[in-house]
């Protein structure tokens, strides 16, 4: 199977014949379709599609392909985007004291399980430096206070745009991003919340889960929006616990879930498997493409 792919993400109102029209377009342009996934939301009468093509079949420029597809998209009122696996994305990681999610991302990147560039990691605690530098990735220490937080985010906005950062990952970064910063990077910031949202929003959820006597705990990865911990959810997982679980035990179990959930969410994003619809996501499952 070709590793060099072109992926189209499409959403529109549901109607008959969409699959036929899209696949016919790519057939006429002499593309081999590697995978074609679709989902119909019967509640909102909406249709979503992910089509993966063999990029070796592209006989003209990307601009020409987009222009040709735009004609079809306009006639069917599509919202769409196109992604090329040859464009390796740049990820900036933000981290605080807790490093299990950070370490997992860096390890998966080293093993080529996350196909991306990580040009740098920024942390607001020096204790993060040894974790990052063992992977040969530059670490930038940024002290943060209430007084300088706005200025820091302005500096980051400039830096991320200059460095052509495609995705920002909050690997248990424990500061609340401003609306101004978030709106500069729509659907480009992934956060891990160490609880199964919408329960136990905010800080120290495992202590509150213990006090509530929950029988399962989990973690949630979502896109960051103006509404704290309420952005479109990408991935979640849970594990059963019991009355015998201590806050420390819940924290350890939760940490394992957090690692798995965050790395899966990042991979879904990198693989162009996510379509955002309002405050929901459609996440197409992994296939052999």
Query: What is the per-residue pLDDT across 3-39, written as a single tens digit (0 to 9) for each?
Result: 899 999 999 999 999 999 999 999 999 999 999 999 9
Contact 196, 221 (CB under 8 A): no
- A 10 A CB-CB count for 40 gives 13
Q: Residue 217's beta-bridge partner residues? A: 239
Domain boundaries, the chain: 5-84, 90-283
Buried b (16+ CB within 10 A) or exposed e, 205-233: bbebbbeeebeebbbbbbbbbeeebebbb
Residues in the chain: 289
Would you state the pLDDT for residue 245? 80
Identify the DSSP state of 135. Answer: T
Would you state the pLDDT for residue 248? 83
Would you state the pLDDT for residue 243? 82
Round to whole Å and give the CA distance between 190 and 174.
13
State what percent of residues in the chain have pLDDT above 90. 80
Q: Residue 216's beta-bridge partner residues? A: 240
State what percent of residues in the chain have pLDDT above 70. 93
Mean local confidence (pLDDT), 259-279: 97
Dihedral sign, Cα of residue 149, residue 153, residue 154, residue 159: positive
- A 10 A CB-CB count for 270 gives 19
Across the beta sheet with 79-84, the strand order is 33-41, 46-54, 5-13, 79-84
* 203 vs 116 pLDDT, higher one: 116
| Statement: residue 1 has pLDDT above 60 | no
Would you state the pLDDT for residue 44? 92
Contact 96, 175 (CB under 8 A): yes
| Statement: residue 253 has pLDDT above 70 | yes
- Active-site annotation, residues: 229
Burial class for 199, CB neighbours closer than 10 Å (0-12, 13-18, 19+):
middle
Q: Does a cis peptide bond (omega within 30 degrees of 0) precede residue 198?
A: yes
- Whether 5-84 and 90-283 share one fold: the answer is no
H-run or E-run covering 59: none
Mean local confidence (pLDDT), 108-125: 97
Predicted TM-score of the model (pTM): 0.92
Structure tokens at 261: 């959930």
| Statement: residue 196 has pLDDT above 70 | no
What CATH number is given for 5-84 in this structure?
A: 3.30.70.260
Using left for φ > 0, alpha for ψ between -120 and 50, and beta otherwise, residue 187 falls in left
Query: Residues 6 or more apart from 155 whose CB is under 8 A from it?
Result: none
Residue 166 CA to its chain's centroid (Å): 10
Give the mean pLDDT of the chain.
Answer: 92
pLDDT band at 213, cuts 50/70/90? confident
Round to whole Å and give the CA distance between 93 and 283.
22
Round to whole Å and give the CA distance between 188 and 92.
10
Query: Residues 6 or more apart from 53 whose CB is under 8 A from it?
Result: 5, 6, 7, 8, 26, 31, 32, 33, 34
Would you state the pLDDT for residue 244? 82
Yes or no: is domain 90-283 CATH 3.40.190.290?
no
pLDDT band at 195, cuts 50/70/90? low
């Amino acid at each position: 199977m070709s590793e060099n792919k072109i992926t189209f993400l499409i959403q529109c109102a549901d109607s008959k014949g969409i699959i036929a029209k899209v696949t016919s377009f790519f057939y006429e342009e002499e593309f081999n379709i590697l995978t074609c996934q679709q989902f119909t939301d019967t509640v909102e009468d909406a249709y979503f599609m992910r089509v993966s093509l063999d990029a070796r079949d592209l006989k003209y420029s990307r601009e020409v392909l987009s222009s040709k597809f735009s004609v079809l998209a306009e006639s069917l009122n599509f919202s769409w985007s196109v992604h090329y696996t040859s464009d390796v994305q740049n990820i900036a990681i933000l981290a605080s004291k807790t490093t299990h999610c950070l370490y997992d991302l860096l390890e998966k990147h080293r093993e080529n399980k996350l196909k991306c560039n990580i040009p740098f990691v920024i942390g607001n605690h020096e204790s993060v430096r040894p974790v990052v530098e063992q992977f040969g990735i530059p670490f930038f220490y940024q002290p943060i206070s209430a007084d300088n937080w706005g200025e820091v985010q302005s500096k980051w906005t400039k830096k991320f745009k200059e460095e052509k950062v495609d995705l920002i990952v909050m690997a248990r970064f424990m500061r609340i991003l401003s609306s101004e910063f978030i709106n500069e990077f729509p659907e480009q910031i992934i956060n891990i919340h160490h609880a199964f949202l919408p329960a136990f929003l905010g800080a120290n959820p495992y202590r509150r889960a213990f006090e509530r006597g929950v029988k399962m705990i989990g973690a949630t990865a979502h896109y960051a929006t103006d509404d704290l911990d309420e952005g479109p959810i990408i991935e979640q997982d849970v594990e059963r616990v019991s009355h015998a679980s201590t806050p420390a035990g819940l924290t350890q179990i939760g940490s394992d879930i957090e690692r798995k959930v965050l790395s899966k969410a990042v991979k879904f994003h990198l693989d162009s498997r996510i379509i955002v619809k309002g405050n929901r996501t459609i996440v197409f499952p992994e296939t052999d493409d």
